[in-house]
Amino acid sequence: MPIAKNRKLAVALTVSLGLALGACGGMPSNPSLNSVKQPVVERTNYTFDVQSSGGGLSIPEQQRLAAWFEAMELGYGDRLAIEDPMMSPATRESIAKLAARHGILVSEGAPVTAGYIQPGSARVVLTRSTATVPGCPDWSATSDMNYGNGTSPGYGCATNGNLAAMVANPEDLIRGQDGTGQTVVSTGTKAIDSYRDQAPTGEKGLKQTSSNSGGGN
C-alpha cells in the first residue's frame, strides 16, 4: 500500500509540473516596451506600354494612357516613371501632362521591369506602395502568468495597424518628406491673422427696430 500511494503522489506531481510548464510556455517574452509588430512597406510595379514617336504620343495613345490612369486611380503616394529607349522629350511631356491631371509628377529613373520594350514604344511604370502589419492580431500569449513582466506579443498591433491603414503615402514610413525650406509657422498663422483683422461684431452699434413694425392700434 505505501508503494501504491507513493506512485499516485509521483503521478500527481508530474501532472501538476506539466501543467505549470505548459502555462509558462504562453508567457510574453518581450522584456521591452518596443512593439515587435511594425509596419512593413511593400512596393508593386505596374507597367503600361504606349506607342511613341519623335513627336510624342498620338491622341489615341493619350486616350489609352488616360483611361489606364483612371482605372488605376492614380493619386497621391504613387510614383510614376518612364522607360523610353528613344528618350524623347516630347513623349515625356505628353505623359507628364496626363499625370499632372492627377497631381503626380514624373520621377527621374525607372525601376527595372520584366519584358522587352518593343521598338517605337515607351513604358510607363507605376510604383505603388502598401503598408501592413504582419502577424496582427497576436493572441499567442495564452498564459495568465508573466514572471518576466514581458510585453504582450500583440502590443502595438492597434496603433501600428491604424497608422499603416491611414498613412497617405506609405513611403513616409521608410523615409519622411524632405523640407522645402519655407517657414511653416508664417503659413500656419494666416488664419489667425485673418481672424484678428476682422472688425468686431456690433462695432457700428445695434440695428434699431420698432416694436410697432408688425402693426397694431
Give the pLDDT of residue 20. 45
- Tell me the pLDDT band of 18, cut-offs 50, 70 and 90: very low
What's the pTM value of the predicted model, to 2 decimals?
0.62
Are residues 106 and 81 in contact, defined by beta-carbon separation less than 8 angstroms?
yes
State the cell numbers at 177: 518628406
Mean predicted confidence (pLDDT) in 49-68 = 92
Give the pLDDT of residue 16. 46
Query: For the chain, which domains are there?
Result: 43-128 (3.30.1330.60)
- Tell me the pLDDT band of 211, cut-offs 50, 70 and 90: low
Q: What percent of the chain has pLDDT over 70?
A: 77
Mean predicted confidence (pLDDT) in 194-212 = 74
State the cell numbers at 70: 483612371
Cis peptide before 137, with omega less than 30 degrees from 0? yes
Nearest to 35 by CA among 147, 140, 175, 161: 161
Ranges assigned E (strand) in the chain: 40-51, 79-83, 121-132
Are residues 77 and 173 in contact, defined by beta-carbon separation less than 8 angstroms?
no
Give the pLDDT of residue 12. 46
Give the pLDDT of residue 50. 95
Mean predicted confidence (pLDDT) in 155-182 = 86
Is pLDDT of 46 > 70? Answer: yes
Question: How high is the mean pLDDT of the chain?
Answer: 81
Q: What's the pLDDT tens digit per position in 98-149?
A: 999 999 999 988 888 888 898 899 999 999 999 999 999 988 887 677 777 7
Of 68-72, 152-156, 182-186, the poorest mean pLDDT is in 182-186
Beta bridge partners of 74: none
Is pLDDT of 184 > 70? Answer: no
Mean predicted confidence (pLDDT) in 3-32 = 54
Instruction: Return d(Cα 85, Cα 93) in angstroms, integer.
Output: 15
Instruction: Return d(Cα 96, Cα 69) in angstroms, integer.
Output: 12
Q: What percent of the chain has pLDDT over 90?
A: 41
Beta bridge partners of 43: 129
